[in-house]
Structure 1
Amino acid sequence: MTITIAANSAQPLTVHRLGYGTMRLTGPDIWGEPANRAEALQILRTAVEAGVNFLDTADYYGEDVTNRLIAEALHPYPAGLVLCTKVGATRRPDKSWVPYNRPENLRASIDHNLRTLRREQIQLVHLRLMGHGPVPLDEQLEAMFELQREGKILHVGLSNVTRAELEAGLRLGPIATVENMYSYAQRTTVQLPHGANPGGEEVLDLCEQHGIPLIPFFSLLHALPKADSRIAELARKYQATEAQINLAWLLHKSPWILPIPGTSQLAHLRENLRAASLRLSPEDMAYLG
């Protein structure tokens, strides 16, 4: 199964429909070095060897831990590997998440990502929105499109966006992808300590209409209601794990969904990758809702 990013552009990117999100490779609270650095490097190499050709990262993971791990494990990069990073946020020493979205901040972030990832151009960059602040969306996006015109970014995406923000972004320029929180258990907006995270369900139909891949983060969120045993029942039916059924649900929900499940354990990576081979029936999908 593959999906094409920016299909109508001069330089589309076709990737397999199960990527890998690197956030979990960091230490506790998405901060600091991994507990097992050798395993973290092996996870990256194993994912690519298994056919994963879409990696999601950000320079504020760690800080800057996942970018450095990717470069150490995989550079020089194999042909066809797509690296996707995010800008618009940064971390404070107290581990809080704060906006870093003025035009000069976005430029500094892109230049930093280019250095640490050892690339002359980043194929896909998500502008992560951090709530309503002093910098309007159009000012942030214009800075991103300027970096795109300079050749530092190939494609621009949006992350953590409401439906209204995505509609506004589409009026401002070509939006290649959307990255929002989305899982079987969490489909709509959820409040987290650092702010609201809009859900994928709120923008999925708009993404489908415009041919924009939706990339779910926290796709293995297991906040399932105790009374809801449907995932567990299907896991037993297919001799699979609940995590695998959750990923299979995303893959069957829409051909425009590109899951990027993350993990810090090699065994879980291999388990997640096997989800791509599960085939849920229309009756299964109707049962899950």
Structure 2
Amino acid sequence: MAWPSPAKLNLFLYITGQLANGYHELQTLFQFIDFGDTLTFAANNSGNIHIEPAISGVALEDNLIWKAAQALKQEAFNQGYPEAAQLGAHIHLTKVLPMGGGLGGGSSNAATTLIALNAIWNLNLPMDTLAELGLKLGADVPVFVRGQAAFAEGVGEKLTPATPEEKWYLVIKPETNIATVDIFSHQNLTRNTEKRDLHTLLQLPYGNDCQKIVTLLYPEVAKQLSWLLQYAPSRLTGTGSCLFAEFDTQQAAEIVLEKFNDHTKLNSVFGFIAKGVNISPLHKTLADYKQADNNSI
């Protein structure tokens, strides 16, 4: 069966401080969308993790899917399952999410790998353990593992379940790739936004402290954001180049997507419509897998 690897949006993102180690403290609201990559897994006893197709410019050992599978095997071994060394899998990735867009594609791929192989290999490690493994792979991985829209604090590891309104979004990816380090290291990045509780933040207009720097450094992002703002509340997600406009209905989003396609018909700008969801499609698939497994017993 196919396992979804959904994208996420940062509905808001505020930088509230910087730690001595250089990491930034933040407050952000994660919500999943019903659009993303897909992974399929064929388990075997080879002890090897094979991934296809290879991602251009990314060595196998640097692939978060491979890292997640290896971390899961090592954790099972550490918990007294010596046969874990022989666990293997052939993994196929159908990639539709743009890299470097701020949609969390790599982190989501890692989380889907942890969730799916934990089930397929019958390891039955608890969700808390999978989230801990995920945090070692990346700050955004735990929210994908837990599968619930969440308010994140600290460096992104402190998660509080949340239920923001599930709106429709038009997401676009300008022809620009952005390195997170360039944004977080910029001298003019706001790093002292006041910390506020979730209830207060939900009542205020949403914003993204990274947006000012991204639009300053990347004119194409600024151009597309200016266009979107004509039609709906719009902003940057994460520190990537993807922008999203929010709508109350799918029809309203589709009308603007049609205008957007006319606006960019001479360019290959990536755009799609998706529904915001507070429960990850990955966890719905996990429930279906467990149900099918129970029925086969």
State the TM-score, normalized to the length of structure 2. Answer: 0.26
State the TM-score, normalized to the length of structure 1. Answer: 0.27
Relative contact order (alpha carbons < 8 A, sep ≥ 6): 1 or 2 greater? 2
Greater strand content: 2
